[in-house]
A and B are shown apart, each in its own frame.
Chain A
């Protein structure tokens, strides 16, 4: 069939539309496949025991023997301890820096927000190397501990908190600040009780996003957290475990039951991250409404 020039161009245009639509479909395949596998392979591990007990001993699949599973409670505890400690480090520093950038401005402020941008691109495994190298000089006993791992995660969270808090503070109109100052309210009171409180939903969103990212990080924990996936949390100077770390251990071990537990941990981690992301979206919508739907 011979087409004239106009139809050829139309046909080409339509095929490009189809191709770009196909690109979306191709991109969706891994997303759906990952979630599907996690649900299919991970949900059998879910039970009361999964949340309350330590993993059973590794057990190779030999016929005639049923492997008991156990649970991943040390990893679950560890993840929440780590996220709490890392937030304690990252939130004050990140929010403080963002307030400085937005409320005081100037050339230094620009340097700080660029630095935060650049820091957010640093490979996460290097945060582990960074903290490991420092603590090795300072105190060998602390190299593998919850404290050490929280520092590594905190370093990764700070830039995210800075950038999102900065954006949230900038949504507060300048007229609000000027009105407060005109009433004779001190600058620090304006900054905290008026600007920060108004932008609070945005700040919370930023913190939640940072927590969601830190929750899934395994690389910085490899040489900061040690390996203690069979013992419950005993203190922040002790070795520990976290869900991503347990997934790595289960994925690389030759044991059928650990492998199932690792998929259970993966499913739980996806659920935790989804819940945090959805919560942050709800909170952000409140900010948008508060700012008059800008």
Chain B
């Protein structure tokens, strides 16, 4: 049998073995990359937790309810080393909520216009211009906010808001421009591209038949959008909004430059404030001691957990949407 074989086993085996080894090395090397991706997320949570441990031990659950942030002080008459996250949690949630309030109607309007009404020739370039907005660094928006937006808010917008809406109690205090409202406006500018891009993509994916059916029933353009297109794209638009929220919660440099940086809960939209991210940006490098550093890391950990939950939620909605659509088409 071996006499009849034109290919001696050695000539067959050598390349085969080499490729087997090559394959092993290939899977191990790419696997290491893959493992590092997972490891970096796990390490993120673990490292921040370890860093926050001193603060967790010291303050316990009171960290989540304490409204005071007092670093260690030299003077024995002044209490020190009390740390609570409440002022920054309020600052973070309030600025993000107002930012969404401003951004959602504008982004939806833009997405609807870009997909439904705009001339075909304009759609791609305008869409790309809006994506360009997302590429400008946060620090530049902050710098622009500081020298252009802050004076406008201080002298033109906030005094008027105060006289018209002062009775609501949301606009107390002296307008300074360096406040929660200005930070929210800057945040809105920064999340609009995110929400617009995702909404535009999901709205553009609505089947034409859906629109034609509504049109054939005599609906006007707006009724088609309102009753046939938007309900179909609802989940995708929602995911876009949630991703925008995730971005707003963690946005740092722009907020830091315009929010006024005061470690207390804001008393109105016109008062100074601080978000978790801006607290870290301002004071992490100059903390009064290990306990304050640890407390700031705990605040960062809370921010991490909130953004992780929000992102996982939004991605789940988006991926379910995509697979759902895939099944529908096949």
CB of A13 within 8 A of CB of B250, answer: no
Residues of A within 8 A of B189 (CB): 30
Question: In the complex, are the beta carbons of A162 and B37 less than 8 A apart?
Answer: yes
Question: Are B221 and A13 closer than 8 Å at their CB atoms?
Answer: yes
Please classify how large the interface on chain A is, using the bins under 10, 10 to 19, 20 to 34, 35 or more.
35 or more
Is the Cβ of A20 less than 8 Å from the Cβ of B117?
yes
**Residues of chain B in range 289-311 having any CB-CB distance to chain A below 8 Å:** 296-297, 300, 303-304, 307-308, 310-311
A112 at the interface (CB under 8 A from B): yes
- Chain B CB within 8 A of A16 CB: yes
Contact status A38-B30, CB under 8 Å: no
Q: Which residues of B contact A158 (CB under 8 A)?
A: 36-37, 40
C-alpha spacing A212/B132, complex, angstroms:
11
On chain B, the residues within 8 Å of A263 by CB distance are 143
Q: How far is the CA of A122 from the CA of B33 in the complex (A)?
A: 19
Q: Among A23, A126, A251, A273, which residue has its beta carbon within 8 angstroms of that of B257?
A: A251
Contact call A37/B144, Cβ cutoff below 8 A: yes
Residues from chain B with Cβ under 8 Å of A17 in the complex: 113, 117, 221-222
Complex contact B311–A121 (CB within 8 A): yes
Q: Which one, A21, A124, A277, contacts B252 given CB within 8 A?
A: A124
Shortest Cβ distance from B106 into chain A, in angstroms? 5
Cα-based distance from A291 to B300 in the complex (angstroms): 44
B106–A115 CB distance below 8 A: no
A255 to B125, CA, bound (A): 40
CB-CB < 8 A to A223: which residues of B?
A: 284-285
Query: Do B33 and A94 have beta carbons less than 8 Å apart?
Result: yes
A222 partner, pick from B44, B130, B285, beta carbons under 8 A: B285
Whether A189 touches B19, Cβ cut-off 8 Å, given contacts A122-B44, A273-B137, A277-B135, is: yes
Check if A37 sits within 8 Å of B148, measured CB to CB: yes
Q: Which residue of A has the minimal Cβ distance to B280?
A: A125
A241 to B304, CA, bound (A): 27
A84 interfacial by beta-carbon distance below 8 Å: no
The answer on a CB contact under 8 Å between A27 and B277 is: no
CB A294 to nearest CB in B, in angstroms, measures: 16
Please name all residues of chain B whose beta carbon is closer than 8 Å to the beta carbon of A12 when the two chains form the complex.
220, 222
Across the interface, do A269 and B141 meet the contact criterion of CB distance under 8 Å? no
Contacts of A119 in B (CB 8 A): 37, 40-41, 44
Contact residues, B10-67 vs A (CB, 8 A): 18-20, 22-23, 25-27, 29-34, 36-38, 40-41, 43-44, 47-48, 50-51
B26–A188 touching, CB < 8 Å: yes
B117 x A118 contact (CB < 8 A): no
Q: Which residues of B contact A9 (CB under 8 A)?
A: 220, 223
Given contact pairs A129-B297, A251-B146, A93 touches B284 in the complex (Cβ within 8 A):
no
Which of B135, B249, B310 lies at the interface centre, i.e. has the most chain A CB atoms within 10 A of its CB?
Answer: B135
- Asked whether B34 lies within 8 Å of A219 as measured between CB atoms, the reply is no
Complex interface: chain A residues within 8 A of B126 (CB): 24
Interchain CB contact under 8 A, A34 and B48: no
Q: Which of A14, A30, A122 has the most CB of B within 10 A?
A: A30
Q: Is the CB of A97 within 8 A of B285?
A: no
Q: Are the CB atoms of A125 and B140 closer together than 8 Å?
A: no
Q: In the complex, which residues of chain B have a beta carbon less than 8 angstroms from the beta carbon of A270?
A: 136, 140
B208 within 8 A of A: no
- Cβ B132 vs Cβ A27 within 8 A: no
Instruction: Decide if A290 is an interface residue (CB 8 Å cutoff).
Output: no
Q: How far is the CB of A282 from chain B (nearest CB, A)?
A: 13
**B133-172 interface mask toward A, CB cutoff 8 Å, 1 = contact, 0 = none?**
1011111111110111000000000000000000000000
A92 to B106, CA, bound (A): 40
| Distance (whole angstroms) from the CB of B192 to the closest CB of chain A | 6
> Contact: B136 with A123, CB < 8 Å?
no
Whether B253 sits at the interface, judged by CB under 8 Å, is yes
28 contacts between A and B (CB under 8 A): A9-B220, A16-B221, A17-B117, A21-B117, A23-B109, A28-B129, A30-B189, A31-B132, A96-B32, A97-B34, A101-B34, A116-B37, A121-B247, A123-B249, A123-B252, A123-B304, A125-B281, A158-B37, A158-B40, A187-B23, A191-B30, A218-B137, A247-B140, A266-B140, A269-B137, A269-B140, A274-B132, A277-B132
Known: A31-B133, A118-B315, A188-B22. 7 other contacts (CB 8 A): A13-B220, A34-B136, A121-B307, A121-B311, A244-B137, A247-B143, A277-B132
**B binding-site residues for A, Cβ under 8 Å:** 18-20, 22-23, 25-27, 29-34, 36-38, 40-41, 43-44, 47-48, 50-51, 105-110, 112-114, 117-118, 126, 129-130, 132-133, 135-144, 146-148, 189, 192, 196, 220-223, 225, 243, 246-247, 249-253, 257, 277, 280-281, 284-285, 296-297, 300, 303-304, 307-308, 310-312, 315
- Where the two chains meet, the residues of A that have a C-beta atom closer than 8 Å to any C-beta of B are 9-10, 12-14, 16-17, 19-24, 26-28, 30-31, 33-35, 37-38, 92-101, 103-104, 108-109, 111-112, 114-119, 121-126, 128-130, 132-134, 155, 158-159, 162, 186-189, 191-192, 212-213, 215-219, 222-223, 244, 247-248, 251-252, 262-263, 266, 269-270, 273-274, 277
